[in-house]
Structure 1
Amino acid sequence: MITKGRLFVVSELFFPEETSTAFVMTKIVNKLAEKYDDIEVVCGMPVYDNNTQKNDNYFLKDSVKVTRIETFAGSKNNLIQRSIRFVSLSFSMFFLLLKKVKRNDTVTIVTNPAPIILLASLLKLLRGMKLVILVHDVFPENTVPAGILKDKKSIVYKVLCTLFNKAYSSADKLIVVGRDMANVMKLKTAKNPNLEIEVIENWSENKLVIPKDNLLSTDKVVFQFAGNLGRVQGLKELLQVIHRSTNKNTEFHFVGEGAVKQEMIEYVSDNNLKNIIFQKGYKRSEQVEILNNTDISIVILSPGMFGLGVPSKTYNILAAGKPILYVGDKDSEVDLLIKDHEIGYSFSTDEKLLQFLDQIKLADKEKFRIMGERSRKLANSIYSEETILQKYQDAI
């Protein structure tokens, strides 16, 4: 059934970029194009890559109109320049939408760039359209673990909280990616108790990412972290735990690039750690081989990230048929996922993690394999691409 009215989708990143946000939003838009006959995406110019070649797994339907806004680019690794880009892009998006949006339209935004959350609230006040927010990141709470703001007691943080809480509360619906995030957003929007908050998890690319034989050495139990080596992952703290472990059966692979990679390399070198291997970043097309080259995959978030984000790579780990070692807050979405389905291990303290690592034996590989089979079954059912995208189509 085709829905009357126009749908505007707003995202900093979009096709043909292959970053997680661009990939997810492109897939969602393609599904929504089956429902809306008039759909327009408002996004920024490509920042990370500009590969315009289509393939069977990643393409954009011809019926989708895309308006790209060219604004200050800056360096994605420079916080000040990136902030300037976010502000300028958000205002450009706002003024464009102000010209186009009417009362019967629907505007769906994702929480990047962050200022668009505030401006979308203003747009709703001026135009009265339906506003749906896809909450991938929770602002300003996530700025503290990232080291952008140092103290939740600061005046700046409190002012930002007031502004963003009011903006989130103005929406007609919030779509969040985890149960923990739903709890956080309920508290942030308590002044609007009737606001609908729906949990729609990320999905696994279960047709593209499939289990394959691990081609790495079998004389070690291989743990792998694959993805962004960023500041909110708690990776430097993980290295400190690995350093304390005396187990000779384990090997740790860190695959990817990011803000703390060089610091991690220096720590490993300074402490002469022999069981840690770094590998370069990888393209989305290479993830099948990468994700299969391990016995157990690592997902980690810094303390204080409860409800502020769910690593999307978790679901492709399921697709690869691997168990998960999660390090992060108790009762977070990944912690609940592991415990609900017995697909790995979850630790919220360094001491318990250290005890686990010290006890690993080569014989545990068979236990991990059985857990991995359960992971793959989840990827093919609850978290399949078809299942999750249908939820988005029903929700928006």
Structure 2
Amino acid sequence: MGKIKDRKIVVVNQASNYLTVGFCNAFADKFESVSLVTGSIHIQGEELSKNVTVTYINKWVERPARKKFTSYVIACLKIYWLLLTKYRKHEVFFVSIPPMGYLLNLLVSNRFSMVVWDVYPDVFKITGMKETHWMYKTWASLNKKSFNKAFRLFTIGNKMADLLEVYVSRKKLIIQPIWSIFQANERVVKEENPFIKEHNLQNKFIIQYSGNIGLTHKVEVVVEIAELLKDNPNIVFQIIGRGPRVPALQKMVEEKNLPNCMFLPFQSDEMFPFSLSAADLGIVILDELTSKGSVPSKSYNLMSYGIPSIYIAGEDSELHDYAQNFNAAKCFTERELNKAKEFILQISTNEQQWNEMSNNAMNTSKLFRRDNADKFVELYLKE
């Protein structure tokens, strides 16, 4: 079957990662004309097809908050202009950033679709914003118009679909999971792992949080669990990442005098498989105010390496359902940290339980493979 010639599509994401590359390549398998509008492309394994034409806009700025917001606004203006000019005859497939970018479908005539895996304005509840706030009410009102106008509206799980039902009919939503960076269990054994050797972690049970440490990430939960286990010298907690809250967390660890906590910066792409391989247990955290509206990609990466996890999230979250359905993780609320402690003590000394959960994680990871990108495109094209 030949490629589609009478339709053109442009994928839009200010900060493109492996997921955006996967979408582009999957579309390039079906469409003769595929473009990408982005500020940057972070290649993680899969290379971007040479058949995809790239137009660069300004890069996403992580911090400070003022510059981040400014970068979002500039990106929106540039995307809007490109959709009015260079890509006025293209269908649009919007992914992720800038977070308000999908609202541009209210201003352009393009056939416009979007993938939603962080639900705004609901995310703002983490900052204490109430639903009565003018920004929240305005964004929520625009969501209803934008989502109803969308050609295809994708989300990645049932709980997220529940949340989006506030804005649009469930019948409009297409639920399709995403995928891991890693497509096979390439976990490196500890005896051969340079990350283990570099940080003298031999014979340690390593519990690892790896990700952003911003205002909306409750990484202090990791420190609180570490405090509960500070008298166990065989268990080490790693906090890997960057963000404005790192100094406060480091001070928290110092004040609590916790010898079992270590901080590391984000690892290079070359070292990342080794740092992930070092983990015996992963930690994935979602603020309970918004845990229904997100699934961190790290949860899929942990599965793909057969690493059991602790999820700190609400009972209404997708992560809670994953824990219940797949038994590759245990989910606890922020009020159940003592239960999390008991689980850690149990699994750190019970090799059979660890192996069972590890095998469950690897089996579950098969649901989150790269061919999910192709499934997005198949659903996009479905009549």
Whether TM-score is above 0.5 comes out as: yes
Letter in 2 for 1:62: K
- The one of 21, 27, 34 equivalent to 1:32 is 27
Match of 1:183 in 2: 162
1:203 aligns with 2:179: yes
Secondary structure of the corresponding residue to residue 306 of structure 2: coil
1:322 aligns with 2:321: no
- 1:113-262 maps to which residues of 2 (within 5 A)? 113-123=98-108, 127=109, 129-145=110-126, 147=127, 150-190=129-169, 194-195=171-172, 197-207=173-183, 210-215=186-191, 216=196, 217=201, 219-245=203-229, 248=232, 249-262=234-247
Q: Using the alignment, how far apart are the partners of 1:213 and 1:255 within structure 2?
A: 20
- Say whether the 8 Å CA contact 1:7–1:106 is kept in structure 2: yes
Q: Using the alignment, how far apart are the partners of 2:373 and 2:267 within structure 1?
A: 25
Q: Using the alignment, how far apart are the partners of 1:230 and 1:342 within structure 2?
A: 29
The C-alpha deviation readout for 1:123-170, integer Å capped at 9, x for no partner, is 1xxx2x32211113211111231x2x6333222221222123322222
Root-mean-square deviation (CA, aligned residues, Å) is 2.4
- Say whether the 8 Å CA contact 2:125–2:290 is kept in structure 1: no
Match of 1:10 in 2: 12
Shift of 1:90: 0.4
**What stretches of structure 2 of length at least 5 have no aligned partner?**
none
- Say whether the 8 Å CA contact 1:246–1:358 is kept in structure 2: no
The C-alpha deviation readout for 1:220-264, integer Å capped at 9, x for no partner, is 432111122233331113423432446515321112222221111
1:334 aligns with 2:319: yes
In structure 2, relative to structure 1, the CA distance for the partners of 1:219 and 1:282 (3 Å cut) is closer
Which has the larger displacement, 265-274 or 160-169? 160-169
The C-alpha deviation readout for 1:310-369, integer Å capped at 9, x for no partner, is 10111111111111110101131222112111112111242x231331461442243112
In structure 2, relative to structure 1, the CA distance for the partners of 1:358 and 1:65 (3 Å cut) is same
The C-alpha deviation readout for 1:159-187, integer Å capped at 9, x for no partner, is 22212332222212211122211111122
The C-alpha deviation readout for 1:284-313, integer Å capped at 9, x for no partner, is 332221111121111111121223211011
Q: Percent identity?
A: 20
1:64 aligns with 2:43: no
Letter in 1 for 2:13: S
TM-score by length of 2: 0.88
1:395 aligns with 2:361: no
**What stretches of structure 1 of length at least 5 have no aligned partner?**
15-21
Match of 1:370 in 2: 356
In structure 2, relative to structure 1, the CA distance for the partners of 1:133 and 1:29 (3 Å cut) is same
Match of 1:18 in 2: none
TM-score by length of 1: 0.85
